[in-house]
Amino acid sequence: MLIALLPGDGIGPEVTEQAVRVLDAVTGDALSFERGLVGGAAYKAVGHPLPPETLDLARRADAILFGAVGDPDCDALERHLRPEQAILGLRKELGLFANLRPARLFPELADASALRPEVAARIDLVIVRETNGDVYFGEKGMRTTADGLREGYDIMSYNEAEVARIARVGFETARARRGRLCSVDKANVLETSQLWRDVVIEVSRNYPDVTLNHMYVDNAAMQLVRDPGQFDVIVTGNLFGDILSDQASMCAGSIGMLPSATLNSRSQGLYEPIHGSAPDIAGQGKANPLATILSAAMMLRYSLGKAAEADRIEAAVAAALAAGARSPDLGGRMSTAEMGDAVLAAL
Ligand code: GGG
């Protein structure tokens, strides 16, 4: 099975290296990795954040293991050349519209959560974030108003087919878990959110076994901190999902702990930690690789039909944490490679 390995920028190469060590240990020689350039690293090497060779590799692969993109050296570039365009381009070109972001607290990390331990203990949820639409892909630009002021704009739009297909993923995910779906929008203000709510209600008629509720995004942000245990599955748009999942990560201990899978309708997937490239600690061996290792486990489960191997990796991460493995984001001193060693030792 071919894996497109796209380490990207900053801490991306360090954390993906540990994930590959773990994958090699559990799959033997079943996976072959082919590396591609992406993000700022690709721009610096060949002048584009998502070169055609990388896109071709991603199309051919059974799955994509992605690190992170983002590079302060590229801050002054035109938007279409910035590193972040690589991940947006991959999602769009491959139709990767359903981003699953599980957030749960490993019991050993109760002290690392931003929440009181008894509240944090209850967090076990999945955020289903739409990743092919919203302000990320609407018309955008800069213009000058009649008063001579610079004005930036990003059009937010969703059509009903886009909402219906992500709603179905939300309902299916909830059906396979505790049967509760919370749809997050801003329907008291936004037209897109009004359509979103109407379509989610229409789709819900096919899922009478799933309990649906609706929440405005501002309330959802507050409720995630007040009582995260009330959530099973959250389905929401691109922008709201991006923000809420970073918030959920700190409830679950650290942004260095949250994996993600972004799937298309062919169950080809892109797997990446939800964190970015963290240029401030890049190359120092301080990054926590567990989010990427857990993303690799999701890859085995969702795209490669290797659920038993995925279970082994997740159990090894839990055992490594129980044995005291802690990178600096978790209040410890272990390096990126030592965290990888701890997972390998626990396999
Ligand atoms: N591994 C996640 C990552 O690299 N994030 C950087 C980023 O710009 N992401 C944009 C997004 O997730 O929409």
Count CB neighbours of 212 within 10 A: 19
Same-domain status, 79 and 184: no
Q: How far apart are CA 47 and CA 252, in angstroms?
A: 38
Which atom of ligand 1 is least distant from the CA of 272?
Answer: 1
Q: What are the pLDDT digits (tens) for 198-213?
A: 999 999 999 999 999 9
Of 66, 87, 271, the residue with max ligand 1 atoms within 8 A of its CB, to mutate for a pocket test, comes to: 87
- Does the Cβ of 36 fall within 6 Å of ligand 1? no
125 and 184 in a single domain? The answer is yes
Give pLDDT, residue 29: 87
Question: How far is residue 216 from each of residues 50, 187, 188, 309, measured CA to CA in Å?
Answer: 35, 7, 8, 38
**What integer is the mean pLDDT of 132-157?**
96
pLDDT value, residue 205: 98
Residue of the nearest CA to atom 6 in ligand 1?
Answer: 276
- Domain assignment present for residue 166? The answer is yes
Residue 326 located in a structural domain: yes
Q: What is the pLDDT of residues 11-55, one digit of tens each?
A: 999 999 999 999 999 999 899 999 999 999 999 999 999 999 999
96 close to 131: Cβ distance less than 8 angstroms: yes
- Please give the sequence-ordered ranges of beta strands (E in DSSP) within the chain, or none if there are none: 2-8, 32-35, 63-68, 98-104, 124-130, 140-144, 150-154, 180-185, 211-216, 233-236, 261-263, 269-271
Contact by Cβ (8 Å): 6, 38: yes
Whether 155 and 91 share a structural domain? no
How many structural domains comprise the chain? Answer: 2
CA of 217 to the centre of ligand 1 (A): 20
Both 23 and 42 in one domain: the answer is: yes
d(CA 89, CA 136): 11
Q: Is 246 one of the catalytic residues?
A: yes
Q: Is the CB of 282 under 6 A from ligand 1?
A: no
Name the band, by pLDDT with cuts 50, 70 and 90, for residue 225.
Answer: very high
**Does 343 have pLDDT greater than 80?**
yes
What is the CATH classification number for the domain harbouring 156? 3.40.718.10
Domain that holds residue 229: 114-251
pLDDT at 266: 85
Q: What pLDDT sits at residue 113?
A: 83
Are 144 and 91 members of one domain? no
User: Using one digit for the tens of pLDDT, what is the confidence trace for 270-321?
Assistant: 999 999 999 999 999 999 999 999 999 999 999 999 999 999 999 999 999 9
Share of the chain above pLDDT 90, in %: 91
Please tell me which residue in 71, 185, 232, 242 is annotated as part of the active site.
242
Q: How confident is the model at residue 127 (pLDDT cuts 50, 70, 90)?
A: very high
211 CA → ligand 1 middle, Å? 31
Domain boundary among 251, 269, 301: 251
Q: Is 87 in the pocket of ligand 1 (CB under 6 A)?
A: yes
Both 122 and 226 in one domain: the answer is yes
Q: Which of 56, 75, 111, 218 is catalytic?
A: 218
pLDDT band at 147; cut points 50, 70, 90: very high
Return the residue whose CA atom lies nearest to atom 12 of ligand 1: 242
- pLDDT over threshold 90, residue 108: no
Residues 237 and 264 in one domain: no
pTM to 2 decimals?
A: 0.94
pLDDT (tens digit, 9 = 90+) per residue, 70-91? 999 999 999 899 999 999 999 9
Q: Is 44 a catalytic residue?
A: no
255 lines ligand 1 (CB under 6 A): no
Asked whether residue 186 carries a pLDDT value surpassing 90, the answer given is yes
In the reported structure, the alpha carbon of residue 67 is separated from the centroid of ligand 1 by a whole-number distance in angstroms of: 9
Q: Does ligand 1 come within 6 angstroms of the Cβ of 170?
A: no
Tell me, yes or no, whether 25 and 91 share the same domain: yes
Q: Is residue 258 within 6 Å of ligand 1 at its C-beta?
A: no
Residues 89 and 143 in one domain: no
Q: Quick one: average pLDDT of 146-172? A: 97
pLDDT computed for residue 236 by the predictor = 98
Average pLDDT over residues 181-210: 98
Both 160 and 195 in a single domain?
A: yes
pLDDT at 196 over 80: yes
Output the average pLDDT for the chain: 96
Same domain, 260 and 299: yes
Residue closest via CA to ligand 1's atom 9 equals: 84
Kindly state whether residue 298 falls inside one of the protein's structural domains.
yes
One domain, residues 131 and 178: yes
Supply the pLDDT for residue 120.
86
Active-site annotation holder among 71, 134, 136, 207:
136
Mutate to test the pocket of ligand 1, among 5, 11, 65, 69 (most ligand atoms within 8 A of CB): 69
ipTM score: 0.91
Q: Which of 71, 158, 185, 186 is catalytic?
A: 186
Instruction: Please compute Rg for the chain using Cα positions.
Output: 20
Active-site residue, selected from the candidate residues 24, 124, 246, 311:
246
